[in-house]
Structure 1
Amino acid sequence: MTQTGIPFHFMRGGSSRGPYFDRADLPEDRDRLSEVLMAVVGAGHTWNIDGIGGGTAVTTKVAMLSPSARDDCDVDYFFAQVAVAERLVDYKPTCGNILSAVGPAAIEKGMVRATDGETRVRIYAVNTGARIEAIVKTPGGVVEYEGDTEIAGVPGTAAPVALNFLDTVGSSTGALLPTGNLIDTIDGLEVTCIDVAMPLMIARAADLGLTGLETAAELDANRAFYERIEPIRIEAGKRMGMGDVTKSVTPKIGLVAPPKAGGTVLTRYFMPWNCHPTMAVTGAQCLAACVLTPGTVADGMAEGLTGTAPQLVEIEHPSGIIEVMVDFENGADGLTLKSAGLVRTARMLARGEVMVPASVWDGTR
């Protein structure tokens, strides 16, 4: 045997895609698991030419599913962000776009039994401890992928997948504002360090000499921007209690500016060493929370806020707008987030076995 075959479903979830595995079909040892996932994706080459990655951070993501032992969840979702050009796997974050296909994948894999019409899949995000409810269209007990729902960054339309996020505050750090401040000043730049679904360091685009309207390609070509922002991100990670984040994709970076296309706020989101071509689902929730929290760097920028819950926050990004419905309470201690809801789409692209060299893994768990 020169190669080891691993069963998988290849899914598009939101504006990302990648392989969805049964966790039981992969090595238990974390170091060996990382070697397998890098071989699957082809990490270490800008094209991912020796794997099924797509040469961008949104196409080198991996979902690993297993039946949940929790009474309040059906399936556990363990996420891995595999690097593109480096040999690196990060298990700290989760991914809301990849999460969009967890419900359909769990049904396709037989982990969740579908009901006629719609199926509710209760998901536990292993990386962050959050719980999510996904509502999947299942007419006749079969996952429906075709529909008329359109999301920015994905061509055409597909069936909607409704996501309701619970337990998202302090996903990685245990606090909404892990530094204890609404605004921190790091190397002369005012930032808000906030943790809702994904820890972010958020700055005003104008404070970095940007308009917020720059394309992802323009921002990625602006190496002076990355040289300026990365040391600040590393210091923010320390202040957020995340330790040395030099080799970690979290905290991510967000930029905010006044809206230009009829939304609530204009944003750019970084992963963190390049600009997201659209918007991460988790990042959208965190940016929405920043917008709704008085005193942050986004204070005074947003348009159309009512101050009452639930509040629809329309986030402008390079490819369009993503909508986040946020339920919250205003109290003496400030904003308390209860849940955030979004609608995404998903599609199964392929299924079968992906091969890795036997020298990487011989199939023994």
Structure 2
Amino acid sequence: MSGQQIAIPCVYMRGGTSKAVYLMGKDLPPPGEKRNNILMRIMGSPDLTEIDGMGGAQIVTSKLAVIDPPSRPDADVDYTFGQAEIDHPHIDYDANCGNISSAVGPFAIDSGLVKVKEPVTRVRIHNTNTGKVFIADVPVVNGEVAIQGDFSIAGVPGTGARIDLDYSGTSGAVTGKCLPTGNATDTLTLESGKTIEVTVFDAGNLGIFAKAEDLGVTCHESKQELDENQLVLDSVREIRGKAAQMIGMCDRWQDIDKVSPLLPLVILAKEPESKNEDLRIRMFLLNKCHPALAGTGSVCTSSSGAVPGTIVNQLATIASPEEYTLRIMHPQGIMPLHVASRSVSGQLWPEFLKIQYGRTARKIMSGQVYIPNVEY
């Protein structure tokens, strides 16, 4: 290629409470080091400001989505999520993002990858990070993705058209089973000698649940307050590492940030405080408090409530474990999810029939992103 810069087609979209650069795989080199270097250059990472790229310098904006034709017959598109780390040169593919997932369906429709059907176009999305398929039901008006509507989500101003996502097919997304330890709860002993009861649960993404009160957290704190509480952050990192070590993700718990920076997530949970909520949480990603609640973190949280004895099942208001709506209070408001399941003989966790939540998404910009024409 000649010229000072390389132009790469892209679309910049908000999905739920996150934003990402969406690209077609055909416009990039094959997966590997060269692709990763180009993606990092697009985002402007590593740099704490990401001033020379599209990243936005936040966990919820330093994200990418690569879309390809389906590689399996039960999907309409393949979707690969990448988290561009801000402080060091790495694109993490270990997990999916449930918020960025919500704009994959609209992107696929706008790109002509799926046949449009009104009033709702169902898009079956194969997430290559986890090897699981989830469903997006996208509203369509006059042949194009509907944007305007009266649905609101905590953490995004205004309203939009509701996109329903069903993650019931994502059980065991990371480890292959919902309860990787085989137990509803396990006990971790911290270096201080303190013991912590945790649930290790895997649906949508891999999460570690602990009672907020065990770490002195009230679930009224802001993200900034928790990010400035080094004692809490150190405890979260240790819980994350020791739970990961327990299920074989790392040999030494201290190495978890090198081995797997993104997963497992850590969710601190507390019982509800009003009739308008069913559970309070603070979620930690990359050892920082999430400003709201990750979509896949909400899937993991809500579905774990269907299993007797888990941390969420102990604390949440759940009328019937077979079918319920869980209203999760996070730092920016409430996120409701609908869960339906049926028990499986000889198995601690059920078969999930529905793990559904609503999001809004919107195309912000489409065009080309430019990166310097150097050897990547």
- 4+ residue runs of structure 1 moved beyond 6 angstroms? none
Q: Distance in 1 between matches of 2:92 and 2:231?
A: 25
Q: Distance in 1 between matches of 2:176 and 2:248?
A: 10
* 2:220 aligned residue: 213
Extract unaligned runs of 5+ from structure 2: none
Q: Distance in 2 between matches of 1:290 and 1:165?
A: 13
* 1:296 aligned residue: 310
* 1:312 aligned residue: 325
Aligned-pair RMSD on alpha carbons?
A: 1.5
* 1:341 aligned residue: 356
Q: Summarize deviations over 1:277-331 as a string: whole Å, max 9, x none.
A: 111111011111222322122343112x222532111111011111111111135
Residue identity opposite 1:77 in structure 2:
Y
Q: Summarize deviations over 1:62-110 as a string: whole Å, max 9, x none.
A: 1100110322110111110111222221101000100000000011112
| Structure 1 pair 289–116 and aligned structure 2 pair: CA distance change class (3 A) | closer
Extract unaligned runs of 5+ from structure 1: none
For structure 1, which segment, 232-241 or 173-182, has the greater mean C-alpha deviation from structure 2 after superposition?
232-241
User: Is it true that 1:233 corresponds to 2:240 in the alignment?
Assistant: yes
* 1:35 aligned residue: 37
User: Is it true that 1:324 corresponds to 2:303 in the alignment?
Assistant: no
Q: Distance in 1 between matches of 2:9 and 2:17?
A: 23
Q: Map 1:130-145 onto structure 2 (within 5 A).
A: 130-145=132-147
Query: C-alpha displacement at 1:155, in angstroms?
Result: 0.4
Instruction: Report the 3-state secondary structure (helix = DSSP H, G, I; strand = E; otherwise coil) of the residue aligned with 1:132.
Output: strand
Residue identity opposite 1:89 in structure 2:
I
Q: Distance in 2 between matches of 1:137 and 1:263?
A: 28
User: Is it true that 1:251 corresponds to 2:264 in the alignment?
Assistant: yes
Query: C-alpha displacement at 1:235, in angstroms?
Result: 2.0
Residue identity opposite 1:232 in structure 2:
I
For structure 1, which segment, 49-58 or 39-48, has the greater mean C-alpha deviation from structure 2 after superposition?
39-48
Aligned length: 360
* 1:353 aligned residue: 368
Q: Distance in 2 between matches of 1:17 and 1:157?
A: 16
* 2:183 aligned residue: 181
2:202 to 195, 202, 227: 195
1:83 to 70, 85, 107: 85
Provide the TM-score with structure 1 as the length reference: 0.95
For structure 1, which segment, 305-314 or 86-95, has the greater mean C-alpha deviation from structure 2 after superposition?
305-314
Identity, % of aligned pairs?
37
| Structure 1 pair 286–308 and aligned structure 2 pair: CA distance change class (3 A) | closer
Residue identity opposite 1:321 in structure 2:
I
For structure 1, which segment, 316-325 or 185-194, has the greater mean C-alpha deviation from structure 2 after superposition?
185-194
| Structure 1 pair 323–360 and aligned structure 2 pair: CA distance change class (3 A) | farther
For structure 1, which segment, 153-162 or 329-338, has the greater mean C-alpha deviation from structure 2 after superposition?
329-338
* 1:280 aligned residue: 294
Q: Distance in 1 between matches of 2:139 and 2:313?
A: 38
Query: C-alpha displacement at 1:20, in angstroms?
Result: 0.5
Answer yes or no: is the 8 Å Cα contact 1:48–1:85 preserved in 2. Answer: no
Q: Distance in 2 between matches of 1:21 and 1:250?
A: 24
Query: C-alpha displacement at 1:232, in angstroms?
Result: 2.5
Answer yes or no: is the 8 Å Cα contact 2:49–2:56 preserved in 1. Answer: yes
Query: C-alpha displacement at 1:270, in angstroms?
Result: 1.1
* 2:47 aligned residue: 45
| Structure 1 pair 29–125 and aligned structure 2 pair: CA distance change class (3 A) | closer
Provide the TM-score with structure 2 as the length reference: 0.92
* 2:4 aligned residue: 2
Instruction: Report the 3-state secondary structure (helix = DSSP H, G, I; strand = E; otherwise coil) of the residue aligned with 2:137.
Output: strand
Instruction: Report the 3-state secondary structure (helix = DSSP H, G, I; strand = E; otherwise coil) of the residue aligned with 1:277.
Output: coil
Q: Summarize deviations over 1:117-155 as a string: whole Å, max 9, x none.
A: 221111111111221111111111111111111000000
Q: Distance in 2 between matches of 1:360 and 1:263?
A: 53
Q: Map 1:88-107 onto structure 2 (within 5 A).
A: 88-107=90-109
